[in-house]
Chains A and B, each alone.
Chain A
Amino acid sequence: MLLQTQNLTMKFGGIMALKDVTLAFESGKISAVIGPNGAGKTTFFNACCGVYTPTAGQVTFGATPLNGKLPHQIAHMGIARTWQNLQIFPQLTLIENVMVGGEMRDHASGFVASMLRLPGVVSKENAAKAKAKYWLDLVGLGDRAETLAGNLAFGQQRVLEIARAMATSPRLLMLDEPAAGLSSTERDALMTVIRRIRDEGITVLLVEHDMRLVMQLADYVAVLNYGELIAQGPPSEVQANPDVIKAYLGEDE
């Protein structure tokens, strides 16, 4: 198990956003967390990667507890993510956006070395650029490398976030609603990219509304409703679960 949560609980004032969620995600697989609006899916993501400090419970990555770690420390440990409400850098070009991710693992070019443009700086920068270009090409944005990210269409910004996250060489990629706002062609391309990432041995965890995408992609699905885990298992099983159907369609009165 690559990522595990144990009784993960998140309270905002009187609102219980997550309640005792215990989940485990297998490495090398594509897993999905689904649920109706407001079920706590994004909160679950945020609590896992250090954006929120959980009210109670544990998150473990590999064998390391993540509690109390800052997002950048978690990123260095090998978790990368994208955002439902995009967090791209609009005034940076696409290649620069991806380079910020790629340069995470290069500690040598610090402030002073960069100001003096010491010999190592240029070669490291070129290496980061090449890596960034690789990921831009892979998600199909390679020909727009010098465009400002703010000028991209919404769907392309989503894909840019994936390229940027992948440039950090993660072990776990967390995608927060990657298909939201994508056209059906873009959606198909996205599925190809996600499968390709999985085939490179990277574990993928996604939060998604698009059921068709989840059922086609995921090896394992967990369902949240009002912050509680109501079902988990292979997609076909979860789809047939009466609790899940009730949560999505509402109850007959």
Chain B
Amino acid sequence: MRFRSFIPVLVVGFVLALVPSLSESKQLLGTFIFAGVYAIAVIGLALFSGYAGQPSMGQAGFCAIGAYASAIVATKFNLSPWVGLLAAGAMSGLVGWLIGSLILRLSGHYLAIGTLGFGIIVAALLKQWEWTGLSSGMRNVPRFEFFGDALKSEAGYYYLVLVILLLVIVLALNLVRSRPGRALRALHESEIGAEMLGVDTATAKLRVFVLSAVLGGIAGSLYAHYVGSITPDTFEFTISVEMLVMAVIGGVSSVWGAALGTAFIWGLSQAIKALPDVLNSIVKIPSITQFELMIFGTILILVMIFMPEGLLPTFTRRKRSG
């Protein structure tokens, strides 16, 4: 990675590293940890949907596979959670490869529906397979071990997620700025044009799909080991939609945009959850989730109309030209 593009990573990393020293609030750190975990999965989605231009509405399915793989390794096999993390990446990558080989011949709306189906099937299978003992969820998923109990505190886990997130950002930036990244952006704009320039578009799409699946799996694993318990409902399809909204709003062809969009939407959803008491005294709202989806939908429509490239590209372009 060129040094100049490394600077933002250092600055963001430095600023975020200060958070635990500013506040020891468990709730605040928890919010940041969730946002970081989300961001890892959303960056994976942005590589596939944003750069390569292939819609996916099943990212939460890979998070589920990663979370369960990790939890099973740590609780049923009593192996180190680190092994679980590796297993999560490997398992979701493997499933991504199998599913991708099947459904990536679809494109556009059909691919969106195909990935949507995948996400729903994963959740349904986890719920229905009672003999596996997974349908009621998994509890007592242990935290990672590193220098004793260092990662068992909120601040420790916060730093773990931060380091992994920064690493993912660096790797993703390297990818999009080099040959395979260029090929993905090219096939996004003209698949036949890229193909005729020697880009094996089918393989390129499959690879980036597997990569996004692996990142989803890692995010799922980090979630499971942080919260300590997971159920099939944790990764239902609305999470996939939420992730797509995060990627689109931040700027779908931008690694930083994906991170920013995640922070924005996650922050907003936390704010909305804090609102109901105030709102309920004014108007009767049906449920927080529905209210949240209404707000997200509105924001998505506004962003699509007024800044179709997403928040980050819109603002950086204005700055460059002005």
Hey, which bits of chain A sit against chain B, CB under 8 A?
Answer: 49, 51, 70-72, 74-76, 80-81, 83, 87-92, 96-97, 99-101, 103-106, 109-111, 114-117, 121, 124-125, 128, 164-165, 168
Among B25-33, B145-153, B157-165, B188-196, the one that faces the other chain is B188-196
Among B125-133, B175-183, B230-238, the one that faces the other chain is B175-183
Given known contacts A114-B174, A114-B180, A72 and B195 CB-to-CB distance under 8 angstroms: yes
Q: How far is the CB of B42 from chain A (nearest CB, A)?
A: 18
Contact B182 A92 (CB under 8 A): yes
Contact B174 A100 (CB under 8 A): no
C-alpha spacing A75/B175, complex, angstroms: 24
Given known contacts A71-B196, A72-B196, A88-B193, A109 and B178 CB-to-CB distance under 8 angstroms: yes
Chain A residue numbers with a CB within 8 Å of B172 are 115
Contact B178 A89 (CB under 8 A): no
Given known contacts A51-B192, A87-B192, A103-B183, A117 and B178 CB-to-CB distance under 8 angstroms: yes
4 more CB-based (< 8 A) A-B contacts, given A88-B189, A121-B179: A80-B197, A89-B186, A91-B253, A92-B185
Contact A117 B198 (CB under 8 A): no
Contact A100 B183 (CB under 8 A): yes
Chain B residue numbers with a CB within 8 Å of A71 are 192, 195-196
Chain A residue numbers with a CB within 8 Å of B182 are 92, 96, 99-100, 103
Q: How far is the CB of A81 from chain B (nearest CB, A)?
A: 6
Chain A residue numbers with a CB within 8 Å of B179 are 99, 103, 106, 109, 114, 121, 124-125, 128
Contact B174 A76 (CB under 8 A): no
Give the secondary structure class of B's interface.
helix
Among B102-110, B199-207, B282-290, the one that faces the other chain is B199-207
Contact A92 B198 (CB under 8 A): no
C-alpha spacing A114/B253, complex, angstroms: 18
Does B1 belong to the interface (CB within 8 Å)?
A: yes
Give the secondary structure class of A's interface.
helix
- Which of B174, B189, B201 contacts A89, CB < 8 Å? B189
Which of A103, A114, A115 gathers most chain B CB within 10 Å? A115
Contact B200 A72 (CB under 8 A): yes
C-alpha spacing A125/B176, complex, angstroms: 13
- Which of A51, A104, A105 contacts B199, CB < 8 Å? A104
Chain A residue numbers with a CB within 8 Å of B193 are 83, 87-89
A-B contact pairs, 6 of them (CB 8 A): A90-B189, A92-B182, A111-B180, A115-B171, A117-B174, A164-B197
Does B246 belong to the interface (CB within 8 Å)?
A: no
Q: How far is the CB of A129 from chain B (nearest CB, A)?
A: 11
Q: How far is the CB of B188 from chain A (nearest CB, A)?
A: 8
Contact A88 B190 (CB under 8 A): yes
Does B247 belong to the interface (CB within 8 Å)?
A: no
Does B211 belong to the interface (CB within 8 Å)?
A: yes
C-alpha spacing A75/B253, complex, angstroms: 27
Contact B178 A114 (CB under 8 A): yes
Q: Which residue of A lies closest to B168 (CB)?
A: A115
Contact B194 A100 (CB under 8 A): yes
C-alpha spacing A114/B174, complex, angstroms: 6
Chain A residue numbers with a CB within 8 Å of B175 are 111, 114-115
Chain A residue numbers with a CB within 8 Å of B183 are 100, 103
